[in-house]
């Protein structure tokens, strides 16, 4: 074991030396980030960093490193390594003193380096990824084209790649053949096959610009948005269910559709982020901008009986913080929840300052998922527009906005579980709705009654003759509203009016029915249930023309129109804002000092001067061109989608613990151009990448490929197994079954029985009918506690939390999926049918055609031989057992041995490595 471990370290060590240590002379200035920080991270920071500062010594920030330690003296004296305890401890003989404690001493050259560093003043440096992106000088390199027809390269990317190829004495591969390129770029840009016109045009065209034309037409295709949405939904931890226990459904598909449209419309990335983070805080947001904010409503919720809503409200906010950092900024900020970051310059308090951006959003983990945007029919939406315009004329913009928000979201509303001081009343399962026995009392805390003369409640009452009295401030306070509640066995909303009030008050509500007769010997029943309450000014303009119509629309839309609702972000109104505290050691119950919204100090330079201290300000900071992480993260992610590995391999971490970039200057140049030249245009960024000679290379391994097995230097083209979504979409497309119907609720393609068994949840997988069975994978209904099995098998993310990177594995269960899953067998049958239709009755021609449909190229004779042999063996078997052919082709009316045999071949061909690899 030990011997093996050493072998490992040697390998890792060689890589590190090759990667980061150049020859240096004694006088060279030491580069802290490149030379010193890696040594500190590896050997020191676990004891002398953000988590622990043993002996009172921490090496995380310069001021900490130079401060007095427990001994009363500083351990590092800049300029004086000989009197610096930090240096002495590295070489001292006494094992109790020598550092790293109980580990091998540092190599002499590392100690020498640290000495030089202290001598030069122990200067700190910032990690590259936390510094703004700068325009880079384009390297001048002369790499010869493999076709010997001039210099290699198409665009800037190739200059950066070529520079390293030349430095490592490697030659690029020639361009891949047209068929390979067509399939590669199509799967990469649109996630499926191109149209027949696109492929025909490209394969037959002699135009030197044919490839660019193909790229442009793929980027313009509606398929494009679906492919890139699949990627984005992992970051957005998008799922069609809430997550915990009964894992109830959640109505969020409109968000997925928003993402698809945004990609297809080529929404600039800064706007894309702004709307998802703070669409609700934009002036007069559109429905689409509100739906964009569902990004941060994809955090799991917990409806389990007896859970503490406050706990899961907080849990949702932590998830929002972590998702923002990991998904959008490639940083491991989650570390800082419990303590300062062990390696990166983020302090414990800064986590909670960041949390404060989300802490006052209205999501309180209620089962209705309030706040939600009500999804009106077109005619109702028109009525709302007219109503809003009318209010604006009567009472101005603010009032119009208030009425619109109330009608669209019922907000601001008090969720009934917030009620307390209960008497003859209960909160169902401690986290559900308020319910009352006869003569029940409850307090609604902090009702905003300023200018209010109207109330609304969502209620179901099982008792006749019931009345609710609303008392001001106490049970003995004056009754300001008396509301009769009719018996009705279903939820309804009820509006009521009262004399105008002012200020913030506790409202004590008293429910009573004189008609109630207790049944002797029986437990008294709960008579009434409440979901929410709101108090507001009634519709303005009572004497203005048009009031009758406005009032009628107002009441109809608010009370008498039932809609679905998509959860969105919304802020607490001023009266309900609460403080955010630092949680000591990350424990919610140990409240430290209170904090206000802020971004970490080390990145505050990217915040615009007038940025408001809310999510809008957060979005402005994220999308400021000085923000060093947002554009780098996206560029890196796009690169990974195309090349299989990011320029920084750890998509989730560009910090000092992440893997170093293979081509940092390239990453920076692309990031710079993305923001400044392309104006955040995502399609243009992708086009730049796929147009490069680097991307277009052939993927074959040449004699020297083993020297760069992981292809970090890109001397050959990418060759990567397809994602779960691409595997499904490609097979559907090849078989001709695919439906390119877009948008709408998640669909349920074939799935074996018994996969869904959530407790307290009657939901079942009802296989979709017609074309909905054959929609692209991005539309498959995603249940968190029980995700679609074949997708999960191919490394799809479970989507409980933000997933920045899928790790591709290769397992026998994957093979079994594409071999045996009924969905794939169904596709194989249709694929065989298509081969017959397109190639006639000669099996060799059918097989050749099938191969061409899958890979756009002519099958090699020896491969054809393999499959014609398989065909013959299958045919013999099905001819001697016609019953097997019928069993194998159950849905087919003319189940004949030939089609069965060809289906066996089709199934095998869809399993080829070439086919599930791009």
Partner 1 sequence: MTTQDFINQRLAEEARLAQLQVQSRRHFLKESAMGLGALAMGSLLGGCGAGSRRADSGLIAFDPARPLLPKAPPFLGKARSVIYLHMAGAPSPLELFDYKPELAKMDGQDCPPSLLAGKQFAFIRGVPKMLGPQAKFAQHGESRTWISEHLPHLSTVVDEISFLKAVKTDQFNHAPAQLLVHTGSARLGRPSMGSWITYGLGTENQNLPGFVVLTSGGNFPDAGKSVWGSGFLPSVYQGVQCRSEGDPVLFIKDPNGMSRDLRKASIDAINKANQQSYDDYKDPEILSRISQYEMAYRMQIAAPEVMDINDEPDYIHEMYGTKPGKSCLANNVLLARKLVEKGVRYVQLFDWGWDAHGDHAGNSLNIGMINKYRSMDKCVTALLLDLKQRGLLDETLVVWGGEFGRTPMMENRNGAVNPFKGRDHHTEAFTIWMAGGGVKKGYTYGETDEIGYYGVSGRVEAFDIQATILNQMGFDHEAFTYPFQGRPFRLTDVSGRVIREIIA
Range 509-568, binding partner 1 (CB under 8 A): 523-524, 526
Pairing of strands 466-472, 504-513: antiparallel
Judge whether 297 and 313 are in contact, CB under 8 Å. Answer: no
Judge whether 41 and 657 are in contact, CB under 8 Å. Answer: yes
Contact status: 850 vs partner 1 (CB under 8 A): no
Which residues lie below 8 Å from residue 374, measured CB to CB, with a gap of 6+?
407, 408, 409, 410, 563, 564, 565
- φ, ψ of residue 249 to 5 degrees: the values are -65, 160
Contact status: 866 vs partner 1 (CB under 8 A): yes
Contact status: 45 vs partner 1 (CB under 8 A): yes
Show the site string, 98-127: x = touches partner 1 by CB under 8 A, - = not. Answer: --x--x------------------------
Pick from 64, 144, 245, 439: which binds partner 1 (CB under 8 A)?
A: 245
Q: How far is the CB of 583 from partner 1 (least distance, A)?
A: 15
With H, G, I as helix, E, B as strand and everything else as coil, classify residue 511: strand
With H, G, I as helix, E, B as strand and everything else as coil, classify residue 436: strand
Pick from 177, 216, 308, 677: which binds partner 1 (CB under 8 A)?
A: 308
Helix (H) or strand (E) holding 879: helix 861-880
Q: Nearer Cβ to partner 1, position 434 or 481?
A: 434
Q: Nearer Cβ to partner 1, position 271 or 798?
A: 798
Pairing of strands 528-536, 454-461: antiparallel
Contact status: 874 vs partner 1 (CB under 8 A): yes
Q: Nearer Cβ to partner 1, position 663 or 683?
A: 663
| Per-position DSSP letters for 138-192, written without gaps between them | PP---PBPTTSSSB--SSHHHHHHHHHHHHTT--PPPBPPHHHHHHHHHHHHTSS
Contact status: 602 vs partner 1 (CB under 8 A): no
Q: Which of residues 641-700 bind partner 1 (CB under 8 A)?
A: 645, 649-650, 652-653, 655, 657-659, 699-700
- The C-alpha atoms of residue 631 and residue 637 are separated, in whole angstroms, by 10
Show the site string, 777-816: x = touches partner 1 by CB under 8 A, - = not. Answer: -------xxxx-xx-xx-xx-x-xx-----xxxxxxxxxx
Q: How far is the CB of 705 from partner 1 (least distance, A)?
A: 7
Contact status: 305 vs partner 1 (CB under 8 A): yes
Q: Nearer Cβ to partner 1, position 634 or 823?
A: 823
Pick from 209, 596, 820, 858: which binds partner 1 (CB under 8 A)?
A: 820
The pair of structure tokens assigned to 528 is 């009434």
Q: Nearer Cβ to partner 1, position 210 or 886?
A: 886
Contact status: 571 vs partner 1 (CB under 8 A): no
The pair of structure tokens assigned to 854 is 């899958």
CA torsion, ordered 617, 622, 626, 631, to nearest 10 deg:
-160
Judge whether 478 and 409 are in contact, CB under 8 Å. Answer: no
Pick from 295, 376, 621, 888: which binds partner 1 (CB under 8 A)?
A: 888
Q: Which of residues 180-239 bind partner 1 (CB under 8 A)?
A: none
Judge whether 188 and 690 are in contact, CB under 8 Å. Answer: yes
Q: Nearer Cβ to partner 1, position 233 or 413?
A: 233
Q: Which of residues 427-446 bind partner 1 (CB under 8 A)?
A: 428-430, 435
Pick from 532, 768, 904, 918: which binds partner 1 (CB under 8 A)?
A: 904
Contact status: 831 vs partner 1 (CB under 8 A): no
Q: How far is the CB of 640 from partner 1 (least distance, A)?
A: 12
Contact status: 628 vs partner 1 (CB under 8 A): no
Contact status: 701 vs partner 1 (CB under 8 A): yes
Contact status: 18 vs partner 1 (CB under 8 A): no
Closest alpha carbon to 355 in 594, 572, 133, 550:
594
How many positions of this chain bind partner 1 (CB under 8 A)?
Answer: 132
Q: Nearer Cβ to partner 1, position 391 or 900?
A: 900
Contact status: 398 vs partner 1 (CB under 8 A): no
Q: How far is the CB of 833 from partner 1 (least distance, A)?
A: 16
Q: How far is the CB of 698 from partner 1 (least distance, A)?
A: 9
- The C-alpha atoms of residue 780 and residue 765 are separated, in whole angstroms, by 11
| Per-position DSSP letters for 803-832, written without gaps between them | ---PPP---HHHHHHHHH-HHHHHHHHHHH
Q: How far is the CB of 553 from partner 1 (least distance, A)?
A: 39
Pick from 87, 666, 889, 899: which binds partner 1 (CB under 8 A)?
A: 889
Pick from 757, 766, 891, 894: which binds partner 1 (CB under 8 A)?
A: 757
- The C-alpha atoms of residue 20 and residue 473 are separated, in whole angstroms, by 69
The answer to whether the peptide bond before residue 869 is cis (omega within 30 degrees of 0) is no
Q: Nearer Cβ to partner 1, position 182 or 456?
A: 182
Which residues lie below 8 Å from residue 94, measured CB to CB, with a gap of 6+?
none
Judge whether 874 and 896 are in contact, CB under 8 Å. Answer: no
Contact status: 858 vs partner 1 (CB under 8 A): no
Which residues lie below 8 Å from residue 711, measured CB to CB, with a gap of 6+?
643, 644, 645, 705, 718
Q: How far is the CB of 128 from partner 1 (least distance, A)?
A: 16
Pick from 150, 521, 754, 762: which binds partner 1 (CB under 8 A)?
A: 754
With H, G, I as helix, E, B as strand and everything else as coil, classify residue 536: strand
- φ, ψ of residue 421 to 5 degrees: the values are 50, 50
Q: How far is the CB of 176 from partner 1 (least distance, A)?
A: 11
Contact status: 825 vs partner 1 (CB under 8 A): yes
- The C-alpha atoms of residue 358 and residue 409 are separated, in whole angstroms, by 19
Burial of 817 per CB tally in 10 Å (0-12, 13-18, 19+): buried
Contact status: 344 vs partner 1 (CB under 8 A): yes
Stretch that binds partner 1, among 225-233, 251-259, 300-308, 625-633 (CB under 8 A): 300-308
């Amino acid at each position: 074991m030990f011997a093996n471990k050493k072998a490992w370290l040697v390998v890792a060590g060689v890589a590190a030396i090759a990667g980061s240590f150049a020859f240096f002379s004694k006088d060279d200035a030491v580069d802290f980030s490149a030379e010193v920080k890696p040594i500190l991270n590896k050997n020191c920071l676990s004891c002398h960093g953000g988590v622990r500062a043993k002996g009172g010594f921490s090496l995380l920030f310069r001021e900490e490193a130079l401060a007095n330690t427990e001994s009363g003296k500083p351990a590092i004296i800049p300029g004086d390594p000989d009197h610096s305890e930090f240096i002495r401890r590295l070489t001292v003989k006494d094992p109790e003193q020598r550092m790293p404690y109980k580990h091998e001493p540092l190599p002499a050259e590392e100690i020498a380096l640290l000495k030089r560093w202290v001598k030069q003043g122990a200067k700190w440096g910032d990690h590259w990824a936390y510094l703004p992106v700068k325009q880079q000088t384009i390297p001048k390199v002369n790499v010869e084209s493999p076709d010997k027809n001039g210099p290699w390269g198409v665009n800037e990317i190739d200059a950066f790649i070529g520079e390293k190829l030349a430095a490592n004495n490697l030659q690029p591969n020639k361009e891949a053949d047209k068929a390979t390129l067509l399939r590669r770029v199509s799967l990469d840009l649109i996630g499926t096959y191109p149209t027949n016109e696109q492929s025909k045009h490209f394969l037959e065209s002699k135009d030197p610009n044919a490839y660019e034309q193909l790229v442009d037409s793929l980027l313009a295709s509606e398929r494009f948005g679906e492919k890139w949405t699949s990627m984005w939904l992992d970051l957005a931890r998008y799922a069609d269910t809430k997550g915990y226990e009964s894992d109830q459904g959640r109505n969020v598909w409109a968000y997925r559709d928003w993402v698809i449209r945004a990609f297809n419309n080529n929404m600039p990335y800064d706007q894309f982020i702004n709307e998802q983070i703070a669409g609700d805080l934009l002036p007069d947001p559109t429905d689409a901008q509100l739906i964009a904010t569902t990004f941060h409503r994809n955090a799991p919720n917990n409806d389990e009986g007896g859970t503490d809503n406050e706990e899961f409200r907080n849990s949702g906010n932590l998830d929002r913080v972590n998702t923002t950092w990991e998904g959008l900024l490639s940083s491991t900020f989650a570390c800082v929840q419990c303590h300062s970051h062990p390696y990166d310059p983020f302090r414990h308090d800064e986590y909670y300052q960041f949390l404060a951006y989300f802490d006052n959003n209205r999501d309180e983990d209620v089962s209705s998922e309030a706040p939600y945007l009500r999804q009106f029919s077109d005619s109702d939406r028109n009525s709302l527009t007219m109503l809003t315009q009318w209010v604006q004329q009567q009472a101005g913009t603010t009032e119009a906005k208030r009425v619109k928000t109330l009608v669209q979201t019922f907000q601001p509303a008090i969720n009934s579980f917030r009620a307390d001081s209960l008497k003859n009343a209960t909160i169902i399962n401690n986290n559900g709705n308020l319910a009352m026995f006869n003569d029940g009392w409850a307090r609604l805390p902090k009702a905003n009654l300023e200018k209010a003369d109207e109330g609304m409640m969502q209620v179901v009452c099982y008792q006749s003759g019931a009345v609710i009295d609303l008392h001001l401030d106490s049970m003995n306070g004056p009754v300001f509203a008396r509301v009769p509640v009719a018996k009705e066995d279903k939820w309804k909303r009820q509006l009521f009016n009262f004399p105008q009030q002012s200020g913030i008050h506790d409202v004590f509500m008293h429910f009573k029915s004189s008609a109630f007769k207790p049944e002797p010997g029986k437990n008294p029943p709960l008579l009434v249930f409440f979901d929410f309450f709101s108090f507001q000014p009634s519709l303005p303009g009572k004497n203005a023309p048009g009031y009758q119509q406005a009032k009628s629309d107002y009441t109809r839309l608010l009370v008498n129109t039932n809609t679905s609702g998509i959860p969105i972000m919304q802020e607490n109104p001023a009266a309900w804002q609460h403080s955010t505290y630092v949680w000591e050691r990350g424990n919610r119950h140990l409240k430290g000092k209170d904090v206000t919204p802020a971004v970490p100090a080390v990145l505050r330079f990217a915040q615009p001067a007038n940025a408001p201290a809310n999510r809008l300000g957060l979005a402005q900071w994220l999308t400021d061109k000085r923000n060093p992480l947002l554009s780098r993260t996206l560029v890196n992610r796009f690169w990974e989608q195309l090349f299989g590995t990011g320029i920084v391999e750890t998509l989730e971490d560009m910090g000092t613990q992440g893997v170093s970039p293979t081509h940092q200057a390239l990453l920076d140049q692309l990031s710079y151009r993305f923001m400044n030249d392309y104006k955040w245009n995502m399609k243009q960024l992708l086009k730049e990448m796929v147009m490069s000679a680097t991307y277009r290379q052939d993927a074959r391994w040449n004699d020297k490929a083993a020297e760069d097995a992981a292809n970090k230097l890109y001397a050959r083209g990418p060759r990567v197994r397809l994602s779960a979504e691409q595997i499904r979409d490609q097979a559907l497309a090849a078989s001709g079954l695919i439906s390119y119907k877009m948008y709408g609720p998640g669909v349920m393609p074939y799935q074996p029985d018994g996969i869904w068994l959530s407790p307290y949840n009657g939901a079942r997988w009802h296989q979709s009918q017609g074309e909905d069975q054959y929609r692209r994978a991005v539309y498959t209904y995603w249940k968190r506690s029980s995700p679609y099995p074949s997708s999960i098998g191919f490394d799809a993310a479970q989507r409980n939390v933000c997933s920045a990177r899928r790790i591709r594995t290769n397992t026998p269960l994957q093979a079994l999926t594409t071999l045996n899953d009924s969905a794939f067998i169904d596709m194989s049958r249709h694929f065989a049918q298509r081969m017959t239709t397109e190639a006639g009755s000669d099996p060799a021609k059918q097989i050749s055609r099938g191969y061409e449909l899958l890979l756009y190229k002519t099958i090699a004779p020896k491969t054809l031989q393999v499959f014609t042999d398989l065909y013959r063996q299958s045919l013999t078997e099905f001819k001697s057992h016609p019953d097997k052919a019928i069993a194998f082709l159950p849905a087919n009316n003319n189940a004949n041995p030939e089609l069965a045999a060809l289906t066996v071949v089709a199934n095998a061909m869809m399993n080829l490595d070439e086919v599930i690899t791009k």
